[in-house]
Amino acid sequence: MATPGATKRLTKEYASITKSPPPYIIAHPSESNILEWHYILTGPPDTPYHNGQYWGTLTFPPNYPFAPPAIRMHTPSGRFRPSDRLCLSISDFHPKSFNPTWEVSTILTGLLSFMTSEEMTTGSVRATEAERKVFAHRTRWWNSTGGGSKVSADSSARGFGAIKSGDGGAKFRQEWPELDEENLKWLAERKIDLATGLPAPDPAPPQCLPEVAGLRRRPGTSPGVGAAVMHGGQQARDVGGSWLSRNKWTVVLGAVFAYIMVARALGDGAMAAAK
């Protein structure tokens, strides 16, 4: 539970950051807990994170501002491990280096600056620029769907404030309903499959249109007449082939007998002429 001093300080800072938000940063406290803040960093131009929507949380201690918050980024970015606590000079990893005059806007500006650098720390990861651009393009899908419908088997997120993938976007929707609505419109316009985050395939065209099927019929005949003609011809061929196969030896013997008779007649005629 927040101390009266922490509540007063965070209420004042919320009014300040709402009135004059730093570039590429918005943030607000949770309605149910003033010590839990949710932020969105928009990837700045000329960085691999350009136009990415990076959601995270600041979890303040009850005695803030005399101790720093835990800092997490839930959206996969290629820069930080999702939902892991980040070791920064402005985070709870280094309470002795925290300056009580630093505000929420100071903390988030420092986080954005560190994100766009290549410095490594606990909770950060290495990735190529191309990989980070792919992550940036998928941030809206991940935030509004929770990365699909299944909890990641290798998720290592631990502790209060950690967000695992697979919640269907419920937590994001609760904290950012307007952004969630915008995201779903953005995904629909680009025909993004909500289950995978990938472009949905175009529906397969019909195999044979009725107009094309009509071109296959002979002019002047109906489908029924054409089918009857084809069927009748096939039956005639079947009948002829069947009779020949049953009487092939009779045909052969008849041909031989006819040949002998013709040869004999020709022979008799030749003999009569000689006489």
Two structure tokens written together for 53 = 């929507």
CA atoms within 13 A on the CB side of 65: 16
Q: Where are the domains of the chain?
A: 4-189, 221-274
Q: How far apart are CA 111 and CA 86, in angstroms?
A: 9
In this structure, of 22-36, 137-151, 196-210, the range with the lowest mean pLDDT score is: 196-210
Q: How far apart are CA 93 and CA 69, in angstroms?
A: 9
Average pLDDT, the chain: 82
User: What is the average per-residue pLDDT within 256-272?
Assistant: 58
pLDDT at 168: 85
In this structure, of 12-26, 58-72, 134-148, 154-168, the range with the lowest mean pLDDT score is: 154-168
Active site residue 208: no
Instruction: Name the residue with higher pLDDT: 77 or 220.
Output: 77
Does the 4-189 domain belong in CATH 3.10.110.10?
yes
Question: Cα–Cα distances in Å, from 218 out to 49, 83, 222, 233, 234?
Answer: 62, 69, 8, 16, 18
pLDDT at 202: 75
pLDDT at 217: 53
- CA–chain centroid gap for 181, Å, is 18
Residue 76: closest CA among 114, 26, 133: 133
User: What is the average per-residue pLDDT within 70-83?
Assistant: 97
pLDDT at 137: 97
User: What is the average per-residue pLDDT within 167-193?
Assistant: 95
Q: How far apart are CA 84 and CA 71, in angstroms?
A: 8
pLDDT in tens, 128-146: 999 999 999 999 999 999 9
Q: Which of 67, 87, 125, 127 is catalytic?
A: 87
User: What is the average per-residue pLDDT within 249-269?
Assistant: 60
User: What is the average per-residue pLDDT within 203-211?
Assistant: 63
